[in-house]
């Protein structure tokens, strides 16, 4: 009863604050920063669905983001499709690409899967860079039309702010529903112990794939939003460092919590925006944030102590397990 009431108060407070921000922030630059922060909230949350809930280790999230952005930008320029149609298309394009990546590679474990996601992200970026007839390569795609709603053009930063706020609210609502459902619980089970989950009758591979696709879907939507918000995209926006930044946000905020990526993304975006003038230090902030987090508070800002207990419990289990296998080796 009590935690539920607490979270309702928290959500209400968050909603009121985020809705009121454009009323108080008259400065266009600050409003733009706020919009970018929300964009990163969306990206970090979608990455968190993959890394935090099913325990896959994806470090190439920028690839999905890139696919969403380029799909919608190209379709908007070539066929003049409206933003509202492109939003789901961008999402589904990213989700489809996640199948391409996931079907062959998801049976790889931990760091090996991580390396393939990294490779995937770079392949996407390099393809975009080289496929000049379609993507204009390094020149990027300029003049992407801004969205329109009931005859009203989205022009000012405040409009975009409310748009991304709405998308975020929808994403958080849907995700919290999914996580509470059988699917979400299956994801958590896979994260905690894949073998046990399989023994309980969870189709591990299918659920992992679904998880990856769901996370990629929202990254694609974020890409679509970014394309129309910035109205210009180029491969430079989707480097590996972009994926690492998202990773830093998720880690700092706390993996496996809904609140964590929101805090992490907001905090890191504002922090790095403060140091905008010295662009080279921006990435140092992300790097140091990652290092500090895993050294001082591995569960992140919002992470609970509970997760940590599970981790230590799992370790002791693994130790006893390896001991047995060693005995086997010495006998054979």
Partner 1 sequence: MAIGYSIILGVVGLVTFVHGEVIVYGAFTGFYTLLLSRGNVALALLAGFAASWILGVVVNKICYQPFQQRGREVALIATIGLSITLRSSAQVLFGTQQKFMPDMFQNRFFALGDIRIAYTQVFVFAVVFGLCLLLQRIITKTYFGMALRAVSMNKKAAALLGLDVNRAILLGNALACGLGGISGVLLGMYYNAIHPLMGASMAMKAFTATVFGGLGSITGAAIGGFLLGIFENFAVAMLSSGYRDIVAFLILIAVLIAKPSGIMGRRGVELS
User: Using the rule CB under 8 A, which residue among 20, 85, 294, 310 binds partner 1?
Assistant: 294
Residue 302 to residues 34, 108, 317, Cα–Cα distance (Å):
21, 29, 26
CB-facing half-sphere around the CA of 181: CA atoms within 13 A: 9
Binding mask of the shown chain, residues 207 to 226, with x at each position contacting partner 1 by CB under 8 A: --------------------
Bridge partners (DSSP) of residue 232 are 142
Residue 85 touching partner 1 (CB under 8 A): no
Coil vs helix vs strand at 302: coil
- CB nearer to partner 1: give 22 or 63: 63
Binding segment for partner 1 (CB under 8 A), chosen from 17-25, 86-94, 120-128, 206-214, is 120-128
DSSP state of 51: I
Residue 236 touching partner 1 (CB under 8 A): no
Residue 301 touching partner 1 (CB under 8 A): no
- Contacts with partner 1 by CB under 8 A: the residue count is 47
DSSP state of 145: P
DSSP one-letter string for 251-264: HHH-TT-SHHHHHH
Binding mask of the shown chain, residues 257 to 286, with x at each position contacting partner 1 by CB under 8 A: -----------------------xxxxx-x
Q: Check if the beta carbon of residue 227 is closer than 8 Å to that of residue 76.
A: yes
Q: 102: part of which helix (H) or strand (E)? A: helix 83-105
Distance CA 325, CA 328 (A): 5
- CB nearer to partner 1: give 183 or 283: 283
> What residue ranges bind partner 1 (CB under 8 A)?
57, 59, 104-105, 108-112, 114-116, 118-120, 122-123, 126-127, 129-130, 240-241, 244, 247-248, 251, 280-284, 286-291, 294-295, 298, 311, 315, 322-323, 326, 329
């Amino acid at each position: 009863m009590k935690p539920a009431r607490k979270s309702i108060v928290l959500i209400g407070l968050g909603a009121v604050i985020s809705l009121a921000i454009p009323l108080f922030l008259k400065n266009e630059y600050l409003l733009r920063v706020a919009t970018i922060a929300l964009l990163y909230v969306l990206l970090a949350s979608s990455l968190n669905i993959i890394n935090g809930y099913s325990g896959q280790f994806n470090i190439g999230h920028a690839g999905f983001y890139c696919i969403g952005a380029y799909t919608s930008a190209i379709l908007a320029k070539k066929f003049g499709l409206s933003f509202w149609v492109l939003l789901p298309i961008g999402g589904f394009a990213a989700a489809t690409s996640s199948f391409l990546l996931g079907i062959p590679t998801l049976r790889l474990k931990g760091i090996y899967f991580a390396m393939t996601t990294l490779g995937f992200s770079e392949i996407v970026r390099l393809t975009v860079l080289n496929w000049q007839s379609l993507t204009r390569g390094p020149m990027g795609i300029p003049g992407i039309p801004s969205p329109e709603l009931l005859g009203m053009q989205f022009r000012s930063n405040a409009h975009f702010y409310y748009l991304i706020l709405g998308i975020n609210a929808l994403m958080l609502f849907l995700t919290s529903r999914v996580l509470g459902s059988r699917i979400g619980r299956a994801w958590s089970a896979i994260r905690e112990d894949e073998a046990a989950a399989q023994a309980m009758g969870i189709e591990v591979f299918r659920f992992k794939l679904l998880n990856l696709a769901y996370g990629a879907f929202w990254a694609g939507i974020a890409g679509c939003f970014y394309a129309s918000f910035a109205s210009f995209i180029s491969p430079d926006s989707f480097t590996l460092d972009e994926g690492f930044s998202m990773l830093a946000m998720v880690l700092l905020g706390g993996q496996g919590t809904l609140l964590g990526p929101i805090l992490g993304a907001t905090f890191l975006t504002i922090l790095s925006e403060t140091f905008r003038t010295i662009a080279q230090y921006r990435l140092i902030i992300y790097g140091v944030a990652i290092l500090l987090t895993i050294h001082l508070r591995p569960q992140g800002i919002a992470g609970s102590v509970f997760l940590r207990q599970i981790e230590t419990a799992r370790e002791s289990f693994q130790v006893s397990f390896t001991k047995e296998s060693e005995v086997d080796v010495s006998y054979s």
